């Protein structure tokens, strides 16, 4: 049973953090009775930081023109292959590849890249391209959405990350990312991928001045699509990192641990039709991430051999596989490595 919007609003307005956490923990236990918390070993590769969208919350992008464009890059394929070879050597099972929107990078460039990776590393799971990138590739290549996803999949794309969702309420999107795709567009990409049999993840970036109602609208959109297609593997909420961004904000305005844990727990309760909810160490640090395992989270995300986007906002939490396994064990769970599709396996 999911929460109603009114119940979710009541929880957001409540100070009973522990009570909310216990309810979320009880639902987590029902969905994952085996007492396991999972993690994945993979690498984020950002093939370009050039972007035309100017999202005010983003510290990562560089414009195509003007003085700041000197800091822009497009990785060559050989560099990407080297990064993946390193990932494989270090026990990684997948790659999360995303980039800015660059009109010169049409579908042929992406097909060549994906198939080049799969030829060299057939075992690597390719979890790539946020909804806004897929829509941009379609537009630059004069293709419809469905054909774009089909061609990317035929070239080697295995699943699609939830990036670009931010808050799925256009009132917020107009304020923080005026040029970026609308909520319906994000939903359309994920619906089309699910209809084609692909799995995707859903994310939420909160703490950009949205109201509780905006957050709840976001949950509802994700919940409704999951009811329709069942294609989401997990939900990953994370808080806005204001450093080096136009949207900015003072460090002390950033979401606190209490705020984060509350969002995590309410998302677990609302999205009862999504099996996995991820607790984030990248934005929250290891200690809050560990607490998240008792606030509805059943996964701690990736060991992440490379990460550039959150780092661009000046946040440099880092960890190792051993450390993630230790925080999982100390929270009372059995650690298990998983693949990108949340299939777990145990290490000796
Ligand atoms: S968030 Fe993505 S789309 Fe927006 S400016 Fe940054 S790279 Fe571009």
Residue 260: exposure state from Cβ atoms within 10 A (0-12, 13-18, ≥19): buried
Give residue 205's domain range. 5-345
Range ranked top by mean pLDDT from 58-67, 86-95, 99-108:
99-108
Q: Give residue-wise pLDDT tens across range 215-251.
A: 999 999 999 999 999 999 999 999 998 887 888 766 6
Question: pLDDT tens digits for 257-313?
Answer: 999 999 999 999 999 999 999 999 988 999 999 999 999 999 999 987 777 777 777
Nearest residue to 207 (alpha-carbon basis) of 258, 270, 160, 161: 258
* Span from the CA of 164 to the centroid of ligand 1 (angstroms): 8
Assess whether the C-beta atom of 173 lies below 6 angstroms from ligand 1.
Answer: no
More confident site: 315 or 78: 78
The string of pLDDT tens digits covering residues 143-200 is 999 999 999 999 999 999 999 999 999 999 999 999 999 999 999 999 999 999 999 9
pLDDT reported for residue 313: 75
**Of all protein residues, whose CA lies closest to atom 1 belonging to ligand 1?**
58
Q: What is the pLDDT, as a whole number, of residue 314?
A: 73
CATH code assigned at 152: 3.20.20.70
Q: Which atom of ligand 1 is the closest one to the Cα of 58?
A: 6
Q: Quick one: which of 285, 293, 277 has its CA closest to 330? A: 293
b/e code 80-110 from CB counts within 10 Å (16+ = b): bbebbeebeeeebbbbbbbbbbbeebbbebb
For the CA atoms of 325, 333, 291, 266, the dihedral, rounded to the nearest 10 degrees, stands at: 130
* Rounded-to-integer distance, Cα 289 and Cα 241, Å: 16
Contact 99, 48 (CB under 8 A): yes
Whether residue 343 has pLDDT greater than 80:
yes
Q: Which residues are CB-neighbours of 315 under 8 A, at least 6 positions away?
A: 241, 243, 282, 283
Quick one: which atom of ligand 1 is closest to the CA of 60?
6
Q: Indicate the pLDDT class of residue 214, thresholds 50, 70 and 90.
A: very high
How many other CB atoms are there within 10 angstroms of residue 142's CB atom? 9
99 CA: nearest ligand 1 atom? 7
Mean pLDDT of 67-80: 95
Q: What angle do CA 170, 171, 173 make, to 5 degrees?
A: 55
pLDDT tens-digit series, residues 111-124? 999 999 999 999 99
Rounded mean pLDDT, 96-124: 97
pLDDT of residue 304: 76
Instruction: Give the chain's domain count.
Output: 1
pLDDT at 348: 47
**CA gap 333, 339 in Å, rounded:** 18
- Look at residue 295 and give its three-state secondary structure: coil
CB atoms within 10 A of CB 251: 8
In the chain, what percentage of residues exceed pLDDT 90?
A: 84
Beta bridge pairs of residue 335: 37
Buried b (16+ CB within 10 A) or exposed e, 33-66: eeebbbbbbbbbbbbbbbbebebebbbbbbbbee
**Which pTM value belongs to this model?**
0.95
What is residue 246's predicted lDDT score, i.e. its pLDDT?
85
Q: How many A from CA of 50 to the centre of ligand 1? A: 9
Instruction: Say how far apart CA 153 and CA 148 lie, in whole Å.
Output: 9
Please work out whether the CB of residue 55 comes within 6 Å of at least one atom of ligand 1: yes
Q: What is the mean pLDDT of the chain?
A: 94
């Amino acid at each position: 049973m999911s929460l109603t919007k009114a119940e979710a609003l009541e929880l957001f307005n409540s100070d009973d953090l522990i009570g909310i956490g216990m309810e979320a923990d009880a639902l987590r236990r029902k969905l994952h009775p085996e007492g396991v918390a999972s993690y994945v070993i993979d690498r984020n590769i950002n093939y370009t930081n050039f972007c035309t969208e100017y999202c005010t919350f983003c510290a990562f992008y560089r414009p195509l023109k003007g003085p700041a464009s000197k800091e822009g890059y497009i990785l060559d394929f050989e560099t990407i292959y080297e990064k993946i070879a390193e990932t494989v050597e270090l026990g990684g099972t997948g790659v999360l590849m995303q980039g800015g929107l660059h009109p010169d990078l049409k579908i042929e460039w992406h097909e060549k890249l994906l198939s080049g990776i799969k030829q060299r590393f057939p075992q690597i799971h390719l979890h790539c391209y946020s909804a806004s990138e897929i829509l941009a590739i379609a537009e630059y290549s004069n293709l419809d959405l469905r054909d774009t996803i089909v061609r990317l999949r035929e070239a080697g794309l295995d699943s699609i990350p939830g990036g670009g969702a931010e808050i799925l309420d256009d009132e917020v999107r107009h304020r923080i990312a005026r040029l970026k795709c609308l909520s319906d567009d994000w939903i359309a990409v994920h619906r089309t991928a699910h209809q084609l049999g692909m799995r995707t993840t859903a994310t939420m970036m909160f703490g950009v001045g949205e109201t509780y109602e905006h957050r709840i609208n976001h949950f509802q959109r994700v919940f409704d699509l999951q009811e329709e297609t069942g294609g989401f593997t997990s939900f990953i909420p994370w808080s806005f990192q204001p450093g080096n961004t136009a949207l900015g904000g003072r460090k002390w305005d950033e979401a606190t641990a209490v705020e984060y844990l509350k969002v995590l727990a309410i998302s677990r309760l609302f999205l009862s039709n999504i099996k996995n909810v991820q607790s984030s160490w990248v934005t929250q640090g290891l200690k809050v991430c560990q607490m998240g395992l008792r606030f509805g989270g059943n996964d701690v995300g990736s060991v992440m051999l490379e990460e550039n986007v959150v780092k661009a906002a000046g946040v440099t939490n880092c960890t190792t596989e051993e450390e993630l396994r230790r925080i999982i064990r100390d929270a009372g769970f059995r650690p298990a490595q998983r693949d990108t599709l949340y299939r777990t396996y145990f290490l000796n």
